[in-house]
Amino acid sequence: MQNTLRSGSDVIIRTEAWDKARHFYGSVLGLPLAHDSESLVAYDTGAFRLYLEKGRSHGPVFEFLVPEVEPAKRVLLLAGCSVVEEDASVPRCYLRDPYGMVFNLRAEGAGR
């Protein structure tokens, strides 16, 4: 997997304090809204897109892009990562590395 993983431009925060979080990022920080749906909003920050998602928090989720998710996931699991959440319909594969960071593994070119 050496030299095949690169950072994406998304950071995801899941929260049960949905209305308060929307107010904070949209009104207090004044970030421009880029996407708005019932359970997911996105704000443009300039350097990255910040997504707020309804649900139970598992900390900020960063994104790494790979050519193919399944082979990269296998390598990362063998190296001590664990699956936090998977949803093939999104598609999504949240992993926690051995040091506590949670990240979304996504195929390059795959849409949201």
- Whose CA is closest to 94, among 6, 12, 4, 5? 12
Regarding pTM above 0.95, the answer is: no
pLDDT of 1 above 70? no
37-94 pLDDT, tens digit per residue, is 999 999 999 999 999 999 988 889 999 999 989 999 999 999 999 999 998 787 779 9
Q: Strand order of the sheet with strand 61-66?
A: 33-36, 40-44, 49-54, 6-15, 61-66, 102-107, 92-96, 82-87
Give the pLDDT of residue 90.
Answer: 76
pLDDT of 21 above 90? yes
Q: Does the domain made of 6-107 have the CATH classification 3.30.2350.10?
A: no
Q: Where are the beta strands (DSSP E) in the chain?
A: 6-15, 33-36, 40-44, 49-54, 61-66, 82-87, 92-96, 102-107
